[in-house]
Amino acid sequence: MSVAKKSLFQLQDLILTIYIPPQLRLVKDGKDDNPERKTFLKRVNIDNPHAPITVYNDVDDEPCPPIKKHFKFVGSLYYHPTVVPPDPSLYVGCSCPGGVCVENECECAVPGQGFSYLEGGILQYSGDEVYECNDNCACGSNCPNRVVQRGRQVRLQIFKTAKKGWGLRSPEFIQAGQFVIAYYGELITLASAEDRSFVYENLSRGSMSYVMDLDFFFDSEDDEGGADSLPPPEKKHSIDATTYGNVARFANHSCDPNLVIVSVFKSKNVTNLYDAAFFAVKDIEPLTELTFDYIAGNSMEDEEGGRAGGGAGGEGVSRSALQLQECFCGAERCRGKVWLKK
C-alpha cells in the first residue's frame, strides 16, 4: 500500500473517531466480540431490520440486559390460550371511493375530528383513542390512517442508565406526535394478571413485573355503565411482558415523560383488544432517554385504592405489581416517591 493511501485510511479512522460518538456507532454483527450481546441483539432484532436495535453501556461492564433463556421477543401481541383473538373478518371497514381515504368522508375517522394522524403519521390527538383502517377497508397499506400497524420505524438503543438499570433511547431525533413503538407481550385476562402479579411478587423480591393493564374503556352489551364501568376480570385484558415481550419493556418511568401510551384500535367494533402504542409527546433529541408515566392519571394520594392507570386512557402498569419507591427520573416536577416496578 502506498504511503498516500495509508494516510488516507488513517485520516478516515480519525474522522470516524472524532465525529461519531461511540453510542451512535453501529456494532456490525461480526465485529461485536461479546457472544452474550451478539445473541441478545439477534433475539431482540425481530421487528424491523431497517431500524436496528443496538445496545450500549458505558456505566459498567454488563454486556446486555439479563434476559431469561425462556424469554421470547415478539413482534406483535402473543395471545394466551385462554384469550380469544379478535376475528379480523369481523372488523368494520370503510368503503372510501377509489380506495382513497379522505379525512372527512372516511368511516374510520372520528366523526367531527377527522383522522387521528396528520401527514407523516404524526398523532394530532395525544391521549385519545385511535381507530386505524384495517384489512376490510377499501384502502391499501399506504393509507394515511395506518401508522401503528406498520410497526416500529425508529431506531432504538437499549442503554445502561446510572441509577435505573437498563433504559431505552433512540439515536434519532423524534418529532412530537411520532409513533415510537407498541408495548407487546402476552395478552392475558385481568383475572390471570392479578394472579400472576401475586405469583411474581412472591417468587422473588427482586424480580420485575411487566404487566400493563388495558383499561381504556369497557363496552358491555349487558351493562349500561359504558366508559366508566369496570368489566369483570375475565373480560379485562393485560399485557404481560415477563415471558413474551418487545424492546418497549426497557422503557423506564418518568414523572415528566416524553412518551404517552395511546390506545390504537383496529376496528370500531373491537373495543377491548387494542395496541398500547407509545407516541412522543414532545420533540425528543437523539440519545434522550425515552420514558413514560407508569401510573398516568394516578396521584400519590391514591395509594391504597385499586390498580394503577385507572380512568379513561389510563393504561398503566398493574398496581399490584408496583411498590412505592424513590424515583430517580430526574424530572423537575418529580413526585419524589413513585409507584414503580418492584
C-beta of 94 vs 264, nearer to Zn ion: 94
Instruction: Read off φ and ψ for residue 5, nearest 5 degrees.
Output: -65, -45
**Contacts with Zn ion, residue ranges (CB under 5 A):** 94, 96, 101, 106, 108, 133, 137, 139, 143, 145
- Beta carbon of residue 67, minimum distance to Zn ion (angstroms, whole number): 37
Torsion of CA 202, 205, 207, 212, to 10 degrees: 60
CB of 87 to Zn ion, least distance (A): 17
Closer of 144 and 310 to Zn ion (Cβ): 144
Q: What whole-number distance in Å separates Cα of residue 63 and Cα of residue 300?
A: 36
- Burial call 118-150: b when 16+ CB within 10 Å, e when fewer: eeebbbeeebebbbbbbeebbbeeebbbbbbbe
CB nearer Zn ion, residue 108 or residue 284: 108
Smallest separation (angstroms) from Zn ion to the CB of 267: 9
Among candidate residues 265, 328, 242, the one with its CA nearest the CA of residue 91: 265
User: CA-CA distances (angstroms) from residue 273 to 79, 92, 181, 217, 326?
Assistant: 11, 14, 17, 10, 33
CA–CA dist 60, 49 (Å, integer): 28
Minimal distance, residue 187 CB to Zn ion, in Å:
24
Closer residue to Zn ion in complex, CB, 108/338? 108
Minimum distance, C-beta of residue 128 to Zn ion, in the bound complex (Å): 17
Q: Which is nearer to Zn ion, 105 or 234 (CB)?
A: 105
